[in-house]
Amino acid sequence: MADELFKVERHPSYVTFTLNRPEKRNSLNEPMLVALDNAIASVEQDKSIRAIILRGNGRAFCSGIDLAEAERLEGGHNPVSLERIFKRLEHLPVPVIAAMQGAALAGGCELGLHCDLRVAADDLRMGMTVARVGLIVPYNFIRKLIEIIGTANTAQIIFTAEPVDAARAIQMGMVHEVVPAAKLDEAAVAWAEKVAANAPLSLRTMKMSLRRSVDSSNDAWHDDIVELGRQVRSSKDAKEGIRAFLEKRKPVWKAE
């Protein structure tokens, strides 16, 4: 099942990871997360790999957590699990290039942001829509948004819960290049080949230096925010938000 949901294709100097659940806009369920984790593990020590492309099959890159499974899988499918896997992706020793089209929302937005480089199709819609369903952006994911696009743009993304289009995404610094949708895979391969043509030891050392420079400034105490996040995820509003989304109606918020 994992092989169907997630594909790994090896090339001479780079690897392509493909989210393969197009009928669900590549929303993340437990088997897909396990497969992503295993794929990351399979290349962490492979010195023949100099770059990785992460893409989504179909019309969307990734629409985030599958809300139909969120309550049932909360123990193993919560933002803490996403944080662990995304951090592991971010700390791969070689550059990771996200090829993003269509919806890149919530966890899908963060999945792209945890890659080193992002090339977008011109139909991209990227954003953090979790407030619409009574959930939160975890502390470490807000930190990632601030790292990439700054505090002001992060405020727009998380408070409005409105996705931005490709033109606004490149203006904000969320993506590095925008290309016609039909050229997305070609553009991602061009980035991978350009990266992979460089000296592997240089790439690995510079990526380690880049990540350490950023990570060392992100150690602020936030246990209180983690606890508040847990309370929000278990609130009546969160349950109502998910139900309303699945039932395709407007939620009724009660702040409880």
List, in order of start, the domains of the chain with CATH numbers.
2-182 (3.90.226.10)
CB neighbours of residue 94 within 10 Å: 23
- pLDDT, one tens digit per residue, over 40-59 is 999 999 999 999 999 999 99
Average pLDDT taken over every residue of the chain = 90
pTM for the model stands at 0.88
Is pLDDT of 93 > 70?
yes
Q: Residue 3: pLDDT band by 50, 70, 90 thresholds? A: low
- For residues 35 and 8, give the distance between their C-alpha atoms in angstroms, rounded to a whole number: 10
Q: What is the pLDDT of residue 66?
A: 85
pLDDT tens, position by position, 98-132: 999 999 999 999 999 999 999 999 999 999 999 99
The pLDDT assigned to 255 comes to: 82
Q: In terms of DSSP bridges, do strands 103-105 and 96-100 run parallel, antiparallel, or are they unpaired? A: unpaired
Name the residue with higher pLDDT: 235 or 172.
172
Token pair for 59 = 């019309």
Q: What is the pLDDT of residue 216?
A: 67
Q: What is the pLDDT of residue 237?
A: 86
> What's the pLDDT band for 78 if we cut at 50, 70, 90?
low
The answer on pLDDT for 254 being more than 90 is: no
Average pLDDT over residues 72-94: 74
* HSE value, Cβ hemisphere, 13 Å, CA-based, for 172: 25
Contacts of residue 110, Cβ cutoff 8 Å, sequence gap at least 6: 82, 86, 128, 141, 144
CB distance 136 to 65 below 8 Å: no
